[in-house]
Structure formats: structure tokens, C-alpha cells
Amino acid sequence: MRLSHPLALLCAALALVLAGCSGGGGDRVDVVFIGEAGELEQSGLRLSPAGQHLRAATAEGLVALDAAGGVVPAVAERWVVTDDGLSYIFRLRNSAWDDGEQIEAEHVRDELRAVLRRLRGTSLGLDLAKVSEVRAMTGRVIEIRLTSPLPDLLQILAQPELGLRRAGAGMGPMIATDVENGWLLQPSPPETRGLPEVAEWNERIRQIFLRVLPADEAVAAFDAGAADLVLNGTLANLPLADVGALSRGTVRLDAALGLFGLRVRSGEGLLADAARREALAMAIDRPQLLQPFNIGGWVPTTRIVAPGLPDDIGTIDERWSDLSLEARRGLAARRIAGWVSGEDGRVARVTLALPPGPGSDMLFARLANDFAAIGVTLDREDDPAQADLVLVDRVARYGAPRWFLNQFACSLDGGLCVPEADARVEEALSAQNTIVRAALYAEAEAELAASNVYIPIGAPIRWSLVRGGVEGFQENRWNIHPLLPLAMRPI
């Protein structure tokens, strides 16, 4: 992370004390992430949403994401892609590391190779499995070669975990100072990052004070004027946004892409058979499940991969579309009753782990009613490691079937999995033909769906509180809200 020297630390701390509440239009923007203490920790690669945003602000990668979620140049000023889609060639801008040494292609190559090694065993590592070679071509040119085309490579390279750091220090675009209860961030002058100088730079920027609070405290801080922007709201805490916040700001919903459903962790008892796991999936009244939350535009789905993505050849449909809810539940109830009657003492009961929050309480009540309709009792379990089912609530890194399928890879040990689906995804690593690759992804999704190791519900919910006067915030499907645009005053 790029940190300031001791004198700057003292000045930044003083500025923090003097700035007070900014109201979104002063010299500072107060940004609060919903989360728990320690989520701004920057060691390792498994970062919280707050940690991802801090990393992105202090350690750019070859490319980055802008406020709208689009890919923009960062350490690489431009790039070309070969016609076969197997080679991405980046030209680095003329910039320096934190210690003043010029950034060379060899440095970037070595850092990217190290990051790829560290990412092994993670879902992001699986997303990058098509990278076969990273090499330095000349002093400021680097090439990334692939085993087969990966149209979303730039989107993946823009992820905060791919930010370039040396000896723990990144290259901006912001300087972060550790202060009490959070971090103070200030935009770096463009000329220090190899970009053209901007006249009257200091008059065009504001500081960002970044901290993490539990959901109720974050909303209270917003209502009290002590926060200008609250990020990382989920369904678990959405009801809190209705308590006073609407009178002082705006609740903004990202049309997020990703997974929202139940992952089966236990393969014993009632859940040992795919047909009985399907019974639980059939019991859910998806259109009505989130009705109490009054979320406009939310679309439920029974598919694992979000419909309509590139590489979706249209062979996978919504499940049980020819059956009414009553017919689905009747079939599901007979399967459950058959299992219960098969042996004395059997009880149709499963446990579910949900994050704490009033939204989770409402979701649990709805699911418990749905499962009761087929003769299954649902109990709440606090420890996900001990639960039969766990909620998956995850925003996609990029919009392709591969991301969705990689979340259920057996190597990640996240619950029941399907080796046959993994095998199809592995085959797609070397598939050069677009249609063949898409067909392999469809086969993998079909294998996962038939096994019912995951019960899809719909897209994830992400919300923010944005005070009037805050510039640089835009909704986007990745739930990424870069800090640098928030620090720029309107021209």
C-alpha cells in the first residue's frame, strides 16, 4: 500500500480533525463501508469489499475500473489484442514505483507472476487459469498469453487483487494514511504517476476518510451527517436503510450480477439425494420471496448462470416452467414424505446459516414457510461450518458463465460439488472455438443443476446511501465504486 511519510501523516491527521463533517461538498468526503472491524486489513489476497476499494485506490493494476464499472487504462496506458485473442500486449506508462525507481516491464512481469502463484486455490485464480505466460518484451511492453480466448481478461486484470505492489507499496492513484478508526486518502498529483500535469490540482481534489462500521452504526452515521456515502449494503441489512435514511439521502441500488441462493454443504440424511435437494429448490416461491423488501426490477431465477450472458447458447432454460407452484410443491412433498416413511425416527429438518441482520430474519421466515409447505422444518444455524445450507450472496467479477461455474469448483471446498462439471470447465480452457467453449459451459451448468448442490434464487442485492452533493458515484453491475472519482470536485 502507498503510505505517506511521517510529516504527511501528522498533517493528514490534523486535517482530519479540522475537516469535521463534510456534508459531501467540503474538503472531505466521509465514506463508510458496512462490515466488521479489521476489514480494511490489506495483508493477503482475500480482501473484503472495503479492503478491495482501499487496495484499488493505493495500488493500480495494468488496468482499472471507473465509476461506471468500465475498464480504463492504469499502469498500462494502452494495449492491443491479437486477432486470435490469445495475446494481450500492454504498453506501460512512464511512471515510477513508490521509491522513485522507474517501472519496467520486468518488474510488472515478476509481480504478475507472483500474484498468479498466490491466487492458486482461489476462485479468482481459476478465472485466470487460461493465462499461460507473462513476459516482458521491451522496457515498457509486456505480453500476456492465453491458452484460449478470454474476452473478459481486461475485466479480471482490473480486479483490486491484481493491483501492482512492490515491497507492499503500490502506485496510487491515491496516498493512504492510517489514522484513528480508518484511513485518510488523498489523490496523488498526476505528474507523479506519469500523467500530464493538471493545473490547480489541489483546488480540484478532496480527501476521502474511509472507515468500516456495522450496518446499524453506518446508517446512524449517515442520518447524523457524519457519513456522506455508505457502501456495501446487502439484503441482510436493507431494512435499516428505510429507517430515516430516505429523508436525508438516497438509497441507490446496483443492478448487480452474481449469485444469490443456497449452497448445500451437507451430503447426509435428507440432503444425501439429488432428488430431495431438488424438492427444496422446487418449494421456493421465488417471485414472492423478496416481496416484503419492495425491490423494483429484481428478477428471480432457477438458473445457476445468469441468463443472457455471452457464451450462453440458450440450451439451458428456467427449471420447472411447465409446472405451477402447487404442482411443484406437491411433487416435492411426496419425495420428502417417502424419505420420512422409509425409516422410523426420521425427521425432515435442515439448518440454514444466514448473516445477521433484519433482512436475513425476513428471508429466513419466508424460506421456512416455503419449506414447511413440503413438510420440511428449517432451523437457523449461526455457524456456517455446521449448517446444512449456507446463503451464497456474491457479486460477479465479470459477466461470463465461467465466473459462475468456477464458484462451485471442487478445489474450493465450499460445499457439495460435481467433478463432472469441473471437467467440462477444464476442457473449455483449451477450446479455441467459441461455440464449442459455450457448449462445454452449458454442459457444466446442466451437471450442476441436475445435482442440485446449489439452489438459485436470483441476483444479489447491493445498496448504498448517497448524500446529495456527493459526486463521482454511479451504480454499476459490479458493485465497485472507486474512491478517486469521489475525491474529484465537480468542474
Annotate 7-75 with DSSP letters as a single string: HHHHHHHHHHHHH---TTTSSEEEEEEES-TTTT--SSS---HHHHHHHHHHB--SEEE-TTS-EEESS
Tens of pLDDT along 406-463? 999 999 999 999 999 999 999 999 999 999 999 999 999 999 999 999 999 999 999 9
pLDDT at 1: 46
Contact 1, 58 (CB under 8 A): yes
How far is CA 48 from each of CA 44, 51, 53, rounded to the nearest angstrom?
A: 11, 5, 9
| 258-458 under CATH 3.30.1330.40, yes or no | no
- How far is 175 from 183, CA to CA, in rounded Å? 10
For 60-169, CATH number out of 3.40.228.10, 3.30.1490.20, 2.40.50.180, 3.90.76.10 equals 3.90.76.10
Count CB atoms within 10 A of the CB of residue 328.
Answer: 21
- 3-state SS, residue 152: coil
Nearest in space to 289 (alpha carbons), one of 391, 401, 219: 391
The domain ranges of the chain are 1-12+21-57+172-256+463-491, 60-169, 258-458
Reported residue count of the chain is: 491
The tens digit of pLDDT for each residue in 10-33 reads 334 444 433 444 445 568 999 999
Burial class (CB in 10 A: 0-12, 13-18, 19+), 310: exposed
Query: CA distances (Å), 6 to each of 11, 177, 279, 359, in order?
Result: 9, 10, 61, 44
What pLDDT does residue 11 have?
Answer: 39
Alpha carbons 392 and 265: distance in angstroms, whole number: 11
Distance in angstroms (rounded) separating the CA atoms of residues 28 and 176:
14
CATH architecture, domain 1-12+21-57+172-256+463-491: 3-Layer(aba) Sandwich (3.40)
Q: For the chain, which residues score pLDDT lower than 50?
A: 1-23
